[in-house]
A and B are shown apart, each in its own frame.
Chain A
Amino acid sequence: MSMAPDYPPDSGQWVCGVCRRPLEQIKMQIFYLNSAFDVSLPSCPQCGLTMTPKSLAEGKMLEVEALLEDK
């Protein structure tokens, strides 16, 4: 099983508060309990500020966290 790696914002037209640049889907690694996963998340292309959409945090991410905690 692999997760669909691209998680855009749930809704809205978001810009970075500092750089005022629109967010782009940027590939990165996220980590938990000695595991790393490749995903694409909305980020500011200039400063790297990254967003975790709510649907990801309360969906797949929560599921994977629980799974890893029982590993």
Chain B
Amino acid sequence: MTFDQARLHEIEARCTQESPPGCQGVCPFQLDVRAFLAAMTEGRLVPARRILDRALPLPGIMAAVCDHPCEGVCPRKGLGGSVAVNKLEQACLAATSPTRIPPQPRKKFSLAVMGAGLAGLVAAADLARKGYSITLFHNGEPASLLCSRFPVLADSGALRADMEALVALEVAFAEARLDAPLISRCVQTFDALLLDADAASEPAPPPDDVDAATLLWHDTVCCAGWPSLNAAGRVIPEASRQAGEGRRAAQTLERIVGKVSLTAERDKKPGVLHVPLEGVSPVPRLEAEAEGYTPDEAAREAGRCIQCQCLICVKECVFLQKHKGYPRTYARQAYNNASIVQGFHTANTLINGCALCGQCERLCPERFSMADLCRSAREDMVERNYMPPSAHEFALEDMESACGPECALVLNDIGLDKGGKPSWLFFPGCQLTASRGEQTLELYEHLRSNLSGGVALTLSCCGIPAQWAGRRADFDRHAAELLRQWENFGRPTLIAACASCLKALRSALPEAGLVSAWEILTTLSLPPGRRHYDAFALSIHDPCAARFDAAWLKSVRALVRACGATPEEPRLTGETTPCCGYGGLVFCAAPDVAAEMSAARAADLPHTALASCIMCRDRLANQDKACLHLLDLLFPRPSMSDTQAAAARGPSFSTRRAGRAALRRRVLREYLGRQTLERPAERLTVPPQTLTRLEERHILLEDVESVVAQAERGGRYFENLQNGRRLASSRPRHVTFWVEYSRDGETVMVHDAWMHRMIVPGAGDAGTTPGGRHETGQTPRENMP
């Protein structure tokens, strides 16, 4: 497995979405202020009260005296003023009855609290709620110290109610002199003791004498609740700090009697919740008309809470939204997916749905990388043989074809002597050649005519699909072949026209000089046939693989300007650009997510778009977004106006393959004078809607052709006596293809096609085709689930 629990925690920690918001973080009782305010906003006062009563040991007293540090860190502070949390607490308490919290079973330990200051009372309330027997020693009236420190409490109903609650929790009040002998007696009589430093100031140690983290003074004695003194030596109460110390000391007393570590797993500091404030408009704090908020005023004031969340990455990524969580939950799902022994790998779809584009990492203040997470999870799935075969097979076969004898080619510059070493090697990439063969050759010719030292040409795939699919060994094998070719050419500088190729080649050929075609073009005289616009605004769509390639980004804009057009930057651009849906093989493993990604991006580009990656161009155009490729500006196709070029849909998978093969044939013909025969094919007529369906199902025309050819050769087909249609199948690899067709002389009309991965004996001349992990081995009989 690629990551263990420790690694998971390390990854999870980078996503702060589950971290408490600032207000909760600074509250000594970790009050879930966000949830409280959400309930208040909706006028759900009873649930709001429940949140207060569960978190606050003395709700009435705390609401009256708290110096509300939560309001100090409220992000609303600069946007109309902090939300009036404290006044809202008071409004809630005034409008509701106390929540009945069922008492916990009595525990066998007896604890003493010396002093009825705020810390002492908080500790007494906390511990009594948990079932400990508490004796609270006080000097004079139990509430006298509190009333003198916080005059607002004198004769208040809140004070009375909270003191009565302590009595109801069976806290025993005992009047005593709070001195050193009492400490000794308590140490002997009770299991542990808390000294309230405000109430029992005389025997209490100075703060520096106790452990800062646990407030342990010595043996079983803690001390808490020191008041602050001003310059004149006057006591300044600090309710939140003193009360917080009371809770911390109470937790230590529990650990003392429970005989567990006083420090382990304590005071863990969660990451800071990042709260983006873009788009939050200032709204002034609502002041109550009379004393205290009315329920309506309270709802309005609570409604100013922005409900702090991070979700910076989720907001911008269709894929992250699709799975209804955020990176932290996804990391756990990926971990569980890898750990599962029996049952279903429920996160396969999640892991294979990421475009690995790196946008989230760029946007995240903590640099959480879904790409790293999903890529390593995919590698693990491949290594341990549980990657779904259907996830990437089609794309990997496409890669194989692009590197295979029909499409791939290595050509030295024909202007060099035999065995001459070129200074440059142009690597246009398998998708540009698939979609724009003619323009690729024009670009190649332009480079040859303008660069000295000779420019060789490689038609192949860079191998990135293997990397995206988690097939590192396949990528390395392919990289070794590219390295061999590059060495044979005498280590020329590589020129790539695809951002993903550049990335893959950087990793495959780390010693090679690498440059984008666009960067090179900015250093050469510009193509004479280029467009000359007059301030034509184009929304730049950068390829995600180039987000950190400053030279790529700059050159594209320079070339756009050189053609007289005006590059306009969309909201997300350059480093923050989103993926078009092709990256990470999402188009193959999760086509619906990929289509949503393209649509979302298309909607974010106000003008005609300008892409510098052909897959981006074709995918945006397939969403009916007018989109040009940079080559359409530099080497415009004479047969097309800009409007036509921008509107033209991208070629189908089948046309792409055919386009690569056609380009290879043309290069051989034009540069080497070699004629190659086109593979003989059945003459197919495929209605447009059937073509669309084939595309959706990843059925290539060559698959259809081979089914028909095979069937017609051997007569192995079914015939429908009602309409004369034939139905035949073939299983060339791990998929059985079915084609329903009819013949009219030499022409074959394709009516429908479908496929399945299951092996059906007697269908597709198969049932016996071995290969792949799953087509061999034991086959226990089951009922279809």
Residues in B neighbouring A32, C-beta threshold 8 A: 757-759, 774
Contact A31–B779 (Cβ < 8 Å): yes
Contact B718–A57 (Cβ < 8 Å): no
8 A-B residue pairings within 8 Å (CB atoms): A17-B716, A17-B718, A28-B760, A38-B783, A50-B762, A52-B729, A69-B348, A70-B388
Residues in B neighbouring A49, C-beta threshold 8 A: 716, 718, 762-763
Q: When chains A and B are docked, how far (Å) is the Cα of A57 from the Cα of B646?
A: 38
Residues in A neighbouring B391, C-beta threshold 8 A: 69
Q: When chains A and B are docked, how far (Å) is the Cα of A65 from the Cα of B760?
A: 13
Which listed residue, B390, B754, B761, B780, touches A34 by the CB 8 Å rule? Answer: B780
Residues in A neighbouring B779, C-beta threshold 8 A: 29, 31, 34-36
Contact A28–B762 (Cβ < 8 Å): yes
Contact A35–B780 (Cβ < 8 Å): yes
Contact A64–B346 (Cβ < 8 Å): no
Given A28-B762, A38-B783, A52-B736; A14-B757 close (CB under 8 Å): no
Contact B785–A13 (Cβ < 8 Å): no
Residues in B neighbouring A37, C-beta threshold 8 A: 781-784
The smallest C-beta distance from A45 to any residue of chain B, in angstroms, reads: 11
The smallest C-beta distance from B101 to any residue of chain A, in angstroms, reads: 44
Q: Which residues of A contact B (CB under 8 A)?
A: 1-3, 12-18, 23, 28-39, 41, 43, 48-52, 54, 57-58, 60-62, 64-67, 69-71
Residues in A neighbouring B346, C-beta threshold 8 A: 70
Contact B782–A52 (Cβ < 8 Å): no
The smallest C-beta distance from B226 to any residue of chain A, in angstroms, reads: 59
Which listed residue, B711, B759, B780, touches A30 by the CB 8 Å rule? Answer: B759
Residues in A neighbouring B723, C-beta threshold 8 A: 12
Residues in B neighbouring A69, C-beta threshold 8 A: 348, 388-391
Does any Cβ of A come within 8 Å of B153's Cβ? Answer: no
Residues in B neighbouring A13, C-beta threshold 8 A: 720-722
Given A17-B717, A57-B755; A51-B763 close (CB under 8 Å): yes
* In the complex, residue of chain A having the shortest beta-carbon distance to the beta carbon of B734: A32
Q: Which residues of B contact A (CB under 8 A)?
A: 343-346, 348, 388-391, 711, 714-723, 725-727, 729, 736, 738, 752, 754-763, 767, 774-775, 777-785
Which listed residue, B388, B729, B758, touches A31 by the CB 8 Å rule? Answer: B758
Contact B716–A18 (Cβ < 8 Å): yes
Q: When chains A and B are docked, how far (Å) is the Cα of A61 from the Cα of B343?
A: 20
The smallest C-beta distance from A43 to any residue of chain B, in angstroms, reads: 6
Q: Which of A17, A41, A58, A66 has the most CB of B within 10 A?
A: A17
Contact B760–A41 (Cβ < 8 Å): yes
The smallest C-beta distance from A39 to any residue of chain B, in angstroms, reads: 7
Q: When chains A and B are docked, how far (Å) is the Cα of A65 from the Cα of B784?
A: 10
The smallest C-beta distance from B470 to any residue of chain A, in angstroms, reads: 15
Which listed residue, A39, A54, A66, touches B784 by the CB 8 Å rule? Answer: A39
Q: Which of A38, A61, A70 has the most CB of B within 10 A?
A: A70
Residues in B neighbouring A29, C-beta threshold 8 A: 761, 779, 781
Having A16-B718, A35-B779, one finds 9 other A-B pairs with CB under 8 Å, namely: A1-B784, A12-B722, A17-B715, A17-B719, A28-B761, A30-B758, A32-B757, A38-B781, A60-B784
Contact A57–B738 (Cβ < 8 Å): yes
Q: Which of B714, B723, B757 has the most CB of A within 10 A?
A: B757
Contact B760–A52 (Cβ < 8 Å): yes
Residues in B neighbouring A18, C-beta threshold 8 A: 714-716
Which listed residue, A14, A38, A62, A70, touches B756 by the CB 8 Å rule? Answer: A62
Which listed residue, B719, B778, B780, touches A15 by the CB 8 Å rule? Answer: B719
Q: Which of B343, B345, B711, B721 has the most CB of A within 10 A?
A: B721
* In the complex, residue of chain A having the shortest beta-carbon distance to the beta carbon of B726: A17
Q: When chains A and B are docked, how far (Å) is the Cα of A22 from the Cα of B752?
A: 22
Q: When chains A and B are docked, how far (Å) is the Cα of A58 from the Cα of B785?
A: 16
The smallest C-beta distance from B777 to any residue of chain A, in angstroms, reads: 6
Residues in B neighbouring A38, C-beta threshold 8 A: 781, 783
Which listed residue, A50, A60, A70, A71, touches B763 by the CB 8 Å rule? Answer: A50
Contact B720–A65 (Cβ < 8 Å): no
* In the complex, residue of chain A having the shortest beta-carbon distance to the beta carbon of B776: A34
Residues in B neighbouring A52, C-beta threshold 8 A: 729, 736, 738, 756, 758, 760, 763
Given A23-B718, A49-B762; A57-B784 close (CB under 8 Å): no
* In the complex, residue of chain A having the shortest beta-carbon distance to the beta carbon of B727: A51
Q: When chains A and B are docked, how far (Å) is the Cα of A12 from the Cα of B388?
A: 35
Given A50-B760, A51-B763; A70-B348 close (CB under 8 Å): yes
Residues in A neighbouring B390, C-beta threshold 8 A: 65-66, 69
Q: Which of B726, B758, B775 has the most CB of A within 10 A?
A: B758
Q: When chains A and B are docked, how far (Å) is the Cα of A4 from the Cα of B729?
A: 24
Q: When chains A and B are docked, how far (Å) is the Cα of A32 from the Cα of B757?
A: 7
Contact A51–B718 (Cβ < 8 Å): yes
